[in-house]
Amino acid sequence: MGLGSDLEERVVGVVREARDELVELVSELVACDTTARDPGEPPREEERLQRILERRLRVSGAEPELWEPEPVGPGHPYIAAELDFVGRPQLVAVVQGSGGGRSLLLNGHIDAVEPGAREQWSSDPFRAEVRGGRLYGRGSCDMKGGITTLAFAAEALRRAGVRLRGDLVFCSNTDEESSGVGGWAAVRRGVTATAGICAEPTGFDVYAACRGTTTGVLTVPGRAGHAEMPQPHWRAGGAVNAIEKAVPLIASLGRLREEWRTRPDQRHALLSPSSITPTIIRAGEWSVTYPDACAITCDLDYLPVSVDEAGTGRPAHQEVEDWVHAVAASDPWLVEHPPTWKWIDDCPPAEVPVDHEIVAGTLEAAADLGRSGMITGLDSWHDAATYTLLGGTPTISFGPGQLLVAHSVDEYVPVDDLVDHAAAVALLLMRWCGVASPDEG
């Protein structure tokens, strides 16, 4: 193994010489506030960030296009409420190949999560700072570092005088953290390629599969009444505490989670079994009033085996509903006043075969730079699933940094990771797309 030609050596050298430039570009992106949004919120600095990338990609010989998709929802499978893209453009930039080669999609999301309490950070989360070989800042790991290295890989090829035979398709989208509709909008626009990589922080591993994720709200009915007064039986009009009625149902979700851990149909070579976790509880309006409803928001993560022919996680939803209703059947109140479920989003899982050439090619490019990785899966969800399932582009995740530090206080990406990832992507582009001969370029 190793670099296969003087040309590959030259391209890797171009990347390594640009170490400081990579740091500077990541810092520019970190300085853009692109924190995830809720429906109805105004734009932040998404367009500013996309314009920075647009300028860099033009230098690489790309033909960039920014566009604001039409609003989505309500009723969209990825999100319940209407979400608009005003001031939040998507970006696609294509470096046209000379012809005869395979195309490769380079994808990343530009949104990041809120930094939380800024006083807990060692430095301003929106002002990148390098300390001990690490670049700190919100989104540096997830995934502005990865976006930078993808874009710079294209620029390094240009500087080294390399023209690809296949097309390089760069796409940076919004809204991965909040819903996944940014990637959906890009696929709907026609963003596709022979294969793709998404720059999630994998630590140079390859995520070839992910679980689907969906949010369900379980509402347990009660009946309001004075909490400090004796109450008759509910059949005689007495109050019913919705919180107390919810307790055994919540406990049952834990039992379902444990059952999934041992069931044969929940075994997957790269992923953990399905899981459901109550994350938010809302009930009650007054401290001396029985709550008349208790709403439990749950995070459900499910395996590809639970996807139906329509590409949704309805089988997983149905299993959870049936499980909870079976428990509720032992309570006379809940039999006559059954709990209800509302599923408010659904980002389905996807997987790329582990023997797909994009998997092996990516790992080989990294290994040739001394970055040995493994094939694994993501128990959460990522945009790669959308490009794989809906766009027909087998897309893996492969990026710098470790997912463990994403979303955290003092989030960081190692600078060495940035350099090696940009170089690995440049090598992958040359090997996957093919290099045009001088008479083709």
In our burial notation (b when 16+ CB lie closer than 10 A, e otherwise), range 249-267 reads bbebbeebeeebeeeeebe
80, pLDDT greater than 80? no
441: confidence class by pLDDT, cuts 50, 70, 90: low
Mean pLDDT of 385-407: 96
Return the pLDDT at 439: 67
Q: Identify whether the C-beta of residue 302 lies closer than 8 Å to the C-beta of residue 274.
A: yes
Q: Kindly report, residue by residue over 178-229, the tens digit of the pLDDT.
A: 889 999 999 999 999 999 999 999 999 999 999 999 999 999 999 999 999 9
2: confidence class by pLDDT, cuts 50, 70, 90: confident
DSSP 3-state assignment of 294? Answer: strand
Return the pLDDT at 73: 80
The token pair at 271 is 């992923």
Return the pLDDT at 440: 65
Q: Kindly report, residue by residue over 258-291, the tens digit of the pLDDT.
A: 999 999 999 999 999 999 999 999 999 999 999 9
> What percent of the chain is predicted at pLDDT more than 70?
99
Q: Identify whether the C-beta of residue 109 lies closer than 8 Å to the C-beta of residue 98.
A: no
Mean pLDDT of 388-417: 96
40: confidence class by pLDDT, cuts 50, 70, 90: confident
Listed range (77-81, 106-110, 128-132, 217-221) with the worst mean pLDDT: 77-81
Q: Kindly report, residue by residue over 3-38, the tens digit of the pLDDT.
A: 778 999 999 999 999 999 999 999 999 999 999 888
Cβ of 269: how many Cβ atoms within 10 Å? 11
Return the pLDDT at 91: 98
Q: What angle do CA 302, 303, 304 make, to 5 degrees?
A: 130
Q: Identify whether the C-beta of residue 187 lies closer than 8 Å to the C-beta of residue 391.
A: yes
The CA distance from 147 to 399, in Å, is 9
Return the pLDDT at 92: 98
Q: Kindly report, residue by residue over 308-360, the tens digit of the pLDDT.
A: 988 889 999 999 999 999 999 999 999 999 999 999 989 999 999 999 999 99
75, pLDDT greater than 90? no
The CA distance from 175 to 394, in Å, is 21
Domains and CATH numbers, the chain: 6-210+350-433 (3.40.630.10), 212-347 (3.30.70.360)
For the chain, the average pLDDT equals 95
Q: Give CA torsion, residues 189, 193, 198, 203, to 10 deg.
A: 180
The CA distance from 119 to 351, in Å, is 40
| Amino acid present at 53 | L
Q: What is the DSSP string of 37-102?
A: --TTPPP-SHHHHHHHHHHHHHHTT-EEEEE-PPPB-SS-TT-SS-B--TT--EEEEEE--SSSS-
Q: Identify whether the C-beta of residue 168 lies closer than 8 Å to the C-beta of residue 162.
A: no
Q: Say how many CA atoms lie within 13 Å of 91 toward its Cβ.
A: 29
Give Cα separations from 91 to 173, 223, 224, 359 (angstroms). Answer: 6, 51, 52, 25
Q: Kindly report, residue by residue over 157-184, the tens digit of the pLDDT.
A: 999 999 999 999 999 999 999 889 999 9
Return the pLDDT at 194: 98
1, pLDDT greater than 70? no
77: confidence class by pLDDT, cuts 50, 70, 90: confident
